Amino acid sequence: MAKKHPREMDRHHRLPRSRGGSNKSRNISIVERELHRAWHRLVGNMTADEVAAMLTDTWIDPDYYLVAVPRIKTKKKPRRVRRYCTDCSCEVLKYIKSTKQKEQDHDDMVPTPAVE
């Protein structure tokens, strides 16, 4: 039985660096080298809008068109952490404050005088 050789992989910039894309992980896809080369032979460094227009004009059924729609950016939800009530030990969910807020809260605290 013939062994399968591992396929060589490439890093593909989803928004090309030449068009303002970054090296951040959300802009990188790991793809097979041959597919990566085929993509760049077909579309070069076009943006999503340009790719959609080229595919529509050349390859898509004339009764249809392909559209590239930007994703809606959502705000990050605050993380929750499990805490337990000191009275009855029931679980209580609290939101974790940002590091800056924690530091500010800590700086605002007034030390209590020691009781002798």
CB 32 within 8 A of CB 11: no
- Per-residue pLDDT at 74: 76
Quote the pLDDT of residue 58. 92
- Nearest to 13, CA basis, from 45, 55, 51, 37: 45
Digit-coded pLDDT (tens) for 85-95:
677 766 665 55
Query: Cα separation of 67 and 54, whole Å?
Result: 11
Q: How far is CA 109 from the centre of its chain?
A: 37
Q: What is the pLDDT of residue 94?
A: 56
Q: Is the pLDDT of residue 26 over 70?
A: yes
What's the whole-model pTM score?
Answer: 0.54
At residue 29, does pLDDT exceed 70?
yes
Tell me the C-alpha distance between 16 and 48, whole Å: 10
List the single range of 15-19, 37-41, 101-105 with lowest mean pLDDT: 101-105
> In whole angstroms, what is the distance from residue 90 CA to residue 62 CA?
63
Please state, in angstroms and rounded to a whole number, the distance separating the CA atoms of residues 43 and 37. Answer: 10
List helix spans (H) across the chain: 33-43, 48-58, 99-108
